[in-house]
Amino acid sequence: MTLIDLDREPDERPVADRRGRAWPWVAAALVAGVVTGGLAVHGWQEHRTRNQVGLVVLADASDWIGDRVEPGGQGSVLLYGHVAIVNTGPNAFQVRGLGGVHLTAMGGLDRWIEPAGVLYTSFSVELPCAGTDLSALGMSVTVEPRDAARRDVPVSVDGHPWQRRFGKACDY
């Protein structure tokens, strides 16, 4: 059995519990890290979306004047058509041109397209009769957002609206 003398000072002093004072500093460091990380991620996402471009190019076969398909030289066909360029992104951009193999833009470019806006433009392209798949007519759209450099966006246009006239011109 142990005897405790209450009239005498203890031989060893108890060690102070420092764990109770450390947790506010740990919590403050954690909160500061979360706030700093959140601000950094927000800035990065804002910078990333500032230059983001989204677009869809649709074949416009609404019988514009000048839309036609005619025989070309050496087993090829000249297709004159219109496309609608739709801005599906969060930022406005300017269309600077259409490009592709044997493709020529014919007008209506160099205009700003606001988000959810549409730009109609005409083009001509020479396509070979053999091996041409109009379901994926490849071209590129040159765009320039307000805060970024010019860039080419590759697109694939569904050319089914011209398929019947294309077949007739190839049989000619």
Nearest to 77 by CA among 126, 133, 135, 132: 126
Q: How many angstroms from the chain centroid is the CA of residue 32?
A: 33
Residues 133 and 158 occupy one common structural domain: yes
Residue 158 is classified by DSSP as -
Q: Is residue 73 part of a domain?
A: yes
Residues 120 and 147 occupy one common structural domain: yes
**b/e sequence 111-134, b meaning 16+ C-beta within 10 Å:** eebeeeeebebbbebebebeeeeb
Q: Kindly report, residue by residue over 38-63, the tens digit of the pLDDT.
A: 888 877 777 666 667 888 888 876 76
What is the predicted pLDDT for the residue at 163?
Answer: 83
Q: Kindly report, residue by residue over 139-150, the tens digit of the pLDDT.
A: 899 998 887 788
What is the predicted pLDDT for the residue at 87?
Answer: 92
Q: Which of 8-12, 91-95, 111-115, 133-137 has the lowest mean pLDDT?
A: 8-12
What is the predicted pLDDT for the residue at 86?
Answer: 93
Residues 98 and 164 occupy one common structural domain: yes
Q: Is residue 61 part of a domain?
A: yes
Name the pTM for this structure: 0.66
Mean pLDDT, to the nearest integer, of 108-135?
Answer: 86
In whole angstroms, give the CA distance from residue 16 to residue 20: 10
Residues 74 and 43 occupy one common structural domain: no
Mean pLDDT, to the nearest integer, of 85-113?
Answer: 86
Q: Is residue 12 part of a domain?
A: no
Q: Is residue 27 part of a domain?
A: yes
Residues 61 and 94 occupy one common structural domain: yes
What is the predicted pLDDT for the residue at 81?
Answer: 85
| Domain span holding position 148 | 55-171
Burial class (CB in 10 A: 0-12, 13-18, 19+), 165: middle
